[in-house]
């Protein structure tokens, strides 16, 4: 068997139970096409993925992307491959198929370039996500065309891939959307539905609280999946229903016209995922419901329009994760909940309008970088002050974990 250098793609389907997404870590190396995939914690670390099963869609075969020094790629219609600028993509007879005798005959898919590589390669039309359609039991015919960005080349790409632990590309195969443009996956473990993608044209959205796919019955919608609404440039308002428990990683990243984010008074939301609302620059005021226990790293980073942000007061909400409000340059005042024990790396980095941070007793970990403001590691806003109304705690903070900022205390 001739061995060739190939970079394997990560696959996930909307029908996968959350947490069971299979992804292939792409890194430089020689792989044998008959090599069995090595799995660790539901991730394929190397080798080809022969099939990925889930409740609704099965994907067999594989897809690959390879990088060449040449300035022109190859194309082969029979295998579904294409290339431009020395980048070659092939479906390699990959076949998605509905299971359980589904009446669906077609579906949609998306291909997203890994964050670590998006600086170096892009789709030819410069978009960040490639969307296509697939037919049951047939290899997709639409093939994305890639190009190197700026001065990037094969050597650059391979050196980057050597250092990352993520897929080169993320490919998601979905069922057809409902009449409003939502695509769902059924989670048999929790007997609930997950919104995995939105392809509708609506701008003011009230996320559905229940769904019935005609097979598994009517159940609550409990999650918004990873990148489900990512980079949607038309949505202006989103209302989160009471049933929703989790907003996953990058769910609304880059929704630059999203100006209103509303949670119901009886919200049961517990988790806002990493980068979930990053770069939603039209947001101005955000109030997180008190049911939330975790707002993960950079969840609202680069939301440059936010002037008011209210954290939850849930007793289980104890960490301000790294970069949560990073580069939120319009915020002037932030009050941390009394429950907070940790303020972590770059949590408020480059909040250049911040003049008042109110804290309370109980903080046991504070990373100096949480409040840094520019390349010289000095606070950008020299009028910045820290307030703690408990005199005993303030004295301890100034002598201890906040010593670097003792002169900023009121």
In tens, the pLDDT along 98-114 reads 876 556 688 888 888 87
Q: May I ask the CATH class of domain 177-313?
A: alpha beta
- Token readout for 337 is 């909940």
Mean pLDDT of 363-376: 80
Determine the average pLDDT of the residues in 209-228: 93
Distances (CA, A) of 185 to 2, 16, 97, 157, 212: 39, 7, 15, 34, 11
**Which region among 136-140, 173-177, 254-258 has the lowest average model confidence (pLDDT)?**
173-177
pLDDT value for 21: 26
Distance CA 325, CA 334 (A): 10
**Which pLDDT belongs to residue 65?**
79
Is residue 98 within a helix (H) or strand (E), and if so which, with residue range?
strand 95-98
Put simply, whether the predicted model's pTM sits higher than 0.75 gets the answer no
Q: Which of 189, 243, 242, 197 lies closest to 220 in space, CA to CA? A: 243
Looking at the predicted structure, is the pLDDT value of residue 306 above 90? yes
With a pLDDT cut of 70, the percent of the chain lying above it is 78
Residue 19 confidence (pLDDT) above 50: no
Could you give the strand order of the β-sheet that contains 237-240, starting from the edge strand earlier in sequence? 204-206, 237-240, 260-263
Question: What pLDDT sits at residue 36?
Answer: 36
Which of 77-86, 353-362, 380-389 comes out lowest in average pLDDT? 77-86
What is the rounded average pLDDT for all residues in the chain?
80
| pLDDT the model gives residue 285 | 98
**Which residues does residue 374 pair with via DSSP β-bridges, in sequence order?**
none
């Amino acid at each position: 068997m001739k061995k060739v250098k190939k970079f394997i793609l990560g696959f996930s389907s909307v029908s996968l139970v959350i947490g069971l997404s299979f992804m292939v870590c792409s890194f430089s190396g020689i792989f044998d096409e008959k090599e069995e995939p090595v799995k660790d914690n539901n991730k394929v670390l190397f080798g080809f993925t022969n099939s990925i099963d889930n409740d609704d869609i099965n994907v067999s075969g594989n897809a690959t992307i390879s990088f060449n020094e040449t300035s022109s790629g190859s194309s082969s219609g029979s295998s579904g491959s294409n290339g431009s600028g020395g980048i070659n993509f092939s479906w390699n007879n990959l076949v998605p198929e509905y299971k359980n005798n589904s009446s669906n005959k077609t579906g949609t898919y998306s291909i997203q370039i890994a964050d670590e590589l998006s600086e170096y390669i892009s789709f030819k039309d410069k978009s960040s996500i490639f969307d296509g359609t697939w037919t049951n039991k047939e290899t997709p015919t639409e093939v994305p065309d890639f190009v190197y960005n700026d001065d990037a080349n094969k050597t650059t790409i391979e050196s980057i891939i050597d250092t990352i632990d993520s897929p080169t590309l993320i490919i998601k195969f979905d069922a057809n959307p409902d009449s409003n443009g939502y695509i769902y996956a059924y989670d048999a473990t929790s007997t609930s539905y997950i919104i995995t993608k939105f392809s509708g044209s609506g701008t003011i959205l009230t996320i559905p609280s229940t769904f019935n796919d005609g097979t598994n019955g009517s159940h609550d919608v409990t999650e918004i999946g990873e990148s489900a609404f990512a980079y949607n440039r038309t949505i202006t308002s989103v209302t989160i229903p009471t049933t929703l428990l989790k907003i996953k990683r990058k769910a609304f990243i880059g929704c630059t016209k999203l100006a209103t984010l509303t949670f119901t008074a009886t919200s049961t939301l517990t988790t806002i995922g990493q980068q979930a609302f990053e770069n939603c620059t039209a947001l101005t005021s955000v109030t997180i419901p008190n049911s939330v226990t975790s707002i993960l790293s950079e969840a609202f980073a680069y939301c440059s329009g936010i002037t008011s942000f209210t954290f939850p007061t849930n007793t289980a909400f104890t960490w301000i994760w790294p970069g949560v409000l990073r580069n939120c340059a319009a915020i002037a005042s932030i009050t941390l909940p009394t429950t907070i024990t940790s303020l972590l790396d770059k949590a408020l980095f480059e909040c250049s309008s911040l003049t008042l941070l109110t804290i309370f007793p109980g903080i046991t970990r504070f990373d100096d970088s949480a409040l840094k403001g520019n390349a010289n590691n000095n606070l950008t806003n020299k009028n910045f002050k820290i307030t703690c109304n408990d005199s005993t705690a303030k004295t301890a903070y100034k002598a201890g974990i906040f010593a670097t900022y003792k002169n900023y205390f009121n």
